[in-house]
Structures are given as C-alpha cells and as structure tokens.
Amino acid sequence: MLNLLSYVALVLGTSLIGIIVTLALVPSLRIKFFRMREGGDLALFPWIGDDVSLLTGHLHLTEPGPRNLQDHLRWMKNSPSGAYVLWAGIFWPVLNLMSPEVVQPILKSTSPKSYPYTKIHPWLGISLLTSAGDLWKRKRRQITPAFHYTILQGFQPVFCEKTELMLEHMGHAADSATPVDVFRLITLCTLDIIGMCAFGYEINASTEPNSPYVLATYELSELFYRRLFDPLLLLMPEFLYERITDSGRRWRRALDIIHKLPETVIAKRREGLQKGIDTGISVVAHQREYVDFLHILLTATDENGQPLTNQEIRDEVDTFMFECHGMMDPCHTSRSFTHSFIHSLDHRYDIVRLGVGHVLYRHQSGRAGSRDPRGR
C-alpha cells in the first residue's frame, strides 16, 4: 500500500512540475493574475503589467543595467498611488514605494529584512544593515557614537585629500582631451575615503584601480545585482550556488579577498590596542588628526560591558565599504548624475561653481584642503 501511494505521489508531483514548467516557458500560456485599474491606479495587489511568467514573474520585462532604471521610471510614472509590485517568479514580490506617506511606516519599522538580504549575508554578515529587532537596536547603540558631528568633522581632511587626487585625474584627462568615466572615478575616490575613515587603511583605489581588493568589490556588487534578476539563482541555497554555478564560484573567490584585508587589519589593531600602542589616531594631509571608525568599534561595548567580536566588527566594516562604494550605492550615483546635470548648464555652470566655492571657502578657510574658488 505504501509503495502504491509513493508511486501515485511521484506521478502527481511530476505532472504538476511539468504543468508549471510548460506554463512558464510557453509565452502563449502565460497567465494573467491582476490588471491595473483604469487610469493607471493600482489594484489591491499592485501589478505593473499583464505579461506575467510563472518562471520569471515580471523580470522578463526588463534587464539589468540602464534599461532597468528606465523601466522603473516608467512604472513609477504610471503608478499615481505611489506604489507598485515587481514579481520575481511567483515566490518573491518586490514592493516599490515612492510616496512619503507610504514609505514612512516602513522606515519606522524594525521588522526582519526581506529575503534577498539573506543572499548578502556571506558578504556583510549580520550587520547594522542586515539585522533586525533587538539585535539591530544593540548594534545601533554601539555604533551611533561614530556618527557624532565632531567625529565626522575630523574626517574632512581625508575627504579633501582624496577628492583633490580625483580632480587631478580628471584634469589630466581634460588636458589630453581623453573621455573619462566620471562614475568610476567617483567610486574609486569614495573607496579610498571609506578605506581610511572606516579602518585607517590606504586602499589606493584611485592610483591602483586594478588591485585585487578593488576588483573584488566590483565583482561582488555585479554578481549580487545580477543574481536579483535570476529567480533560479535567487532561490538557490548558498552552498549550492557557490559550488555548482560559475557565478557562485566567482562570488566565493571575491569574498575571500574582501574578507582577508579587514580581518588582518582588525586583528593587528586589536592587538595594538591591548598593548597600549594603538591610540586610533591617524594623521593625514597637513598633519590633521582623526579617529577612524574601526577604533570606535574596537572600544565600543554593550549595556553589559561586552565588546564587539572581531567577526561583528568585520561585518560592520564590510557593510560600510559596501554601502559607500558599491555599484548599487545611491550616494556616488547621485553625485555622478549631479555632476552631469551641472555640466549640462553651459555658462551657468561657472555661476554654480563660484557660488558653491564661496560658501565652502567661507566655512572652511584655513582648514586642510580648503581652496579659494578664485584660485588664491
């Protein structure tokens, strides 16, 4: 009797899988779940279109890269209610929010992060970005002192030093009339700044853009981004992804490179702190001093007086490196678009530049890296 039931279950299971695969792969059999209301407003389950695949959801309607941005801008325009859902297969709905009224309750919540965050755990661990609930609150309390105004102000010499290096590269390109990828220069500059401010390490990304660490950061960002567009890879367990797929093996190799550097620096700095020879103070341009993020983490304790472990510190350092330089980071992306937009203003560009220059010079006169906008 048991064998008969097993046989029936096998037949039914195989038939069901066959039906799902057929519906997913044959465009003419794709089902339509929901439609947008007349006028473009969203139904109870927001939907961006009718052409839905059981295999890819809406992902076949777009692709990674510039086209995805263009598609999202179009969907945003057609969603006056301020929200729409993009489905990756039939298991993962991605809710996109534009209205401040809709976004506000989400930002106030400390609920567990969505499923895709688990796919970045091998890179960032359980950090401030990926944690939730009480663990998130504990990490937040420990890390908050690092964002005090006086601490951030101390990083200014680093910002100036690395930015001037980036401007030198831009100047050389301009002198030789060579086209330059501003986006890449900004990401490399940001990586150098975060390397110094996060754990006092000279990455030299601007001068050595093809070093193993720099290439590994770009590799991880690219692989994670593209994985979001492939439901099969997204749902695949990590141990399988890293063993049976080419992208997974590349992911693992890049992770080993990314983790080795902070692990080495953290161990050395903790040893120096315990021996009393590491004060956490670094000196940069014009002999200005600052305390880096790593020193603050090494000396931070929770309400029970327990310090962060090396693993916890590495997770936070990796998170800041990811958030401030990765290809998906909005900070340098917005800076690149702003740079492009200002240059499109023709003669008005000089007005903007002088206006900003005078304000910065007035507030930063006498500080490292400050420069009179009139060239004095």
Q: Is the pLDDT of residue 24 over 50?
A: no
| Nearest residue to 284 (alpha-carbon basis) of 177, 346, 206, 367 | 367
CA distances from 322 to 202, 217, 269, 315 (A): 17, 8, 21, 10
* Farthest-apart Cα atoms in the chain, separation: 94
d(CA 173, CA 188): 16
Q: Which two tokens stand for residue 139?
A: 């990490």
Would you place residue 223 in the very low, low, confident or very high pLDDT band (cuts 50, 70, 90)? very high
Task: State which CATH number among 3.30.210.10, 1.10.630.10, 1.10.10.10, 3.40.710.10 fits the domain covering 133-344.
Answer: 1.10.630.10
Q: For position 13, what pLDDT does the model report?
A: 57
Question: At how many degrees (to 10) do helices 310-325 and 212-227 cross?
Answer: 80
Q: Who has greater pLDDT, 343 or 166?
A: 166
CA distances from 176 to 170, 180, 188, 326, 354 (A): 10, 11, 21, 29, 25
CA distances from 166 to 11, 132, 156, 161, 367 (A): 64, 37, 15, 9, 19
Is 366 exposed, middle or buried (CB count within 10 Å of its CB: 0-12, 13-18, 19+)? Answer: exposed
Would you place residue 289 in the very low, low, confident or very high pLDDT band (cuts 50, 70, 90)? low
d(CA 62, CA 69): 9
Determine which of 3-17, 26-40, 143-157 has the lowest per-residue pLDDT on average: 26-40
d(CA 4, CA 10): 10
% of the chain surpassing 70 pLDDT: 74
pLDDT in tens, 326-355: 555 666 677 777 777 777 777 777 788 788
Parse the chain into domains and list their residue ranges: 19-109, 133-344
Q: Is the pLDDT of residue 371 over 70?
A: no
Predicted TM-score (pTM) of the model is 0.74
Question: What are φ and ψ of residue 94, in 5° steps?
Answer: -110, 110
Contact 168, 185 (CB under 8 A): no
Q: For position 37, what pLDDT does the model report?
A: 35
Question: What are φ and ψ of residue 345, in 5° steps?
Answer: -85, 0
Q: What is the mean pLDDT of residues 74-85?
A: 76
Q: For position 330, what pLDDT does the model report?
A: 64
Q: For position 279, what pLDDT does the model report?
A: 55
Q: Is the pLDDT of residue 374 over 80?
A: no
Q: Give the 3-state secondary structure of the chain.
A: CHHHHHHHHHHHHHHHHHHHHHHHHCHHHCCCCCCCCHHHCCCCCCCCCCCCECCCECHHHCCCCHHHHHHHHHHHHCCCCCEEEEEECCCEEEEEECCHHHHHHHHHCCCCCCHHHHHHHHHHCCCCCCCCHHHHHHHHHHHHHHHCHHHHHHCHHHHHHHHHHHHHHHHHHHHCCCCCCHHHHHHHHHHHHHHHHHHCCCCCCCCCCCCHHHHHHHHHHHHHHHHCCCHHHHHCCHHHHHHHCHHHHHHHHHHHHHHHHHHHHHHHHHHHHHCCCCCCEEECHHHCEEECHHHHHHHCECCCCCECCHHHHHHHHHHHHHHHHCCCCHHHHHHHHHHHHHHCCCCHHHHHHHHHHHHHHHHHCCCCCCCCCCCC
